[in-house]
Amino acid sequence: MSEYINVTVPDGIFRAYVARPASLPAPAIVVVQEIFGINADLRATCDELAAAGFIAVSPDLFWRIEPGVDLNSWTPEEWAKGFELYGKFDFDEGVRDVLATLALARSLPGANGKAGVTGFCLGGLMTFLAAARGSVDAAVEYYGGGTDKYLHEANTITAPLLIHLAGDDEYIPKAAQAQIAQTLADHKNVTIETYPGCNHAFARHTGAHYDAAAAKLANGRTLEHFKKYLR
């Protein structure tokens, strides 16, 4: 079962997509978008998490700029729009929105009180920052662009964090990946998995660089992580 709900923050109200499992109570997972909004691909991810026994909640990060963004065709025009929205996006406000969604997710009917966060690209960075700045029970970051610029916040991350990196990521160069690995090497709550030969967004179902084998492996690890720490 899926629907949209409202999330209220000090400066307004935004929508979030919710997919619920067949059996409750269940833990919640906030699923954070790429630059394409709560599109069909992201909704499919939420539905998959719900089928695995989680309440999946995906907030509309771009609501202050343009509510309801839903880009799916991967045309040059849609890519340009996505990057335009990204350029206008306030990361700090976005993290606060993710944490507000997380707080609401914990209190939804049928929620067991535990909540994690996961996200892709932009959402991957939001996941890292939400874990650094808020109370998160578990987190999984998929190829979070710009993570290397926020590694100074890593010491405040206490939740179990799993990071998926694409070996040939065109947006996260090998030098940045090495910096992430080196900085987090002594953080026993952090696990980094790298997928050799994969490009950015290898887990996006409909993306040009989708790698079915790598996505299956990464998503399986994600489910194991959340089952271990949220149940």
pLDDT class for 170, splitting at 50, 70, 90? very high
Q: 112, 117, 114: which is closest to 95 by C-alpha? A: 117
pTM above 0.95, yes or no: yes
The pLDDT value given to residue 14: 98
pLDDT digits (tens, 9 = 90+) for 62-120: 999 999 999 999 999 999 999 999 999 999 999 999 999 999 999 999 999 999 999 99
| From 60, 137, 164, 200, the catalytic residue | 200
Does residue 138 contact residue 229 with C-beta atoms inside 8 Å? yes
pLDDT digits (tens, 9 = 90+) for 220-230: 999 999 999 99
Counting the structural domains of the chain, the total is: 1
Q: 89, 164, 173: which is closest to 127 by C-alpha? A: 164
Instruction: Note if 152 is an active site residue.
Output: no
What does each C-alpha distance from 33 to 99, 143, 229, 231 come to in angstroms?
14, 12, 22, 24
Q: Kindly tell me if the per-residue pLDDT of 1 is higher than 90.
A: no
Query: CATH number of the domain that 91 lies in?
Result: 3.40.50.1820
Question: What CA dihedral angle connects 65, 69, 75 and 77, to 10 degrees?
Answer: -30
| From 41, 60, 137, 169, the catalytic residue | 169
What does the alpha-carbon distance between residue 52 and residue 66 come to, in Å, rounded to a whole number? Answer: 31
Domain span at residue 110 reads: 2-230
pLDDT digits (tens, 9 = 90+) for 112-139: 999 999 999 999 999 999 999 999 999 9
What does the alpha-carbon distance between residue 120 and residue 125 come to, in Å, rounded to a whole number? Answer: 8
Instruction: Note if 186 is an active site residue.
Output: no
pLDDT digits (tens, 9 = 90+) for 171-213: 999 999 999 999 999 999 999 999 999 999 999 999 999 999 9
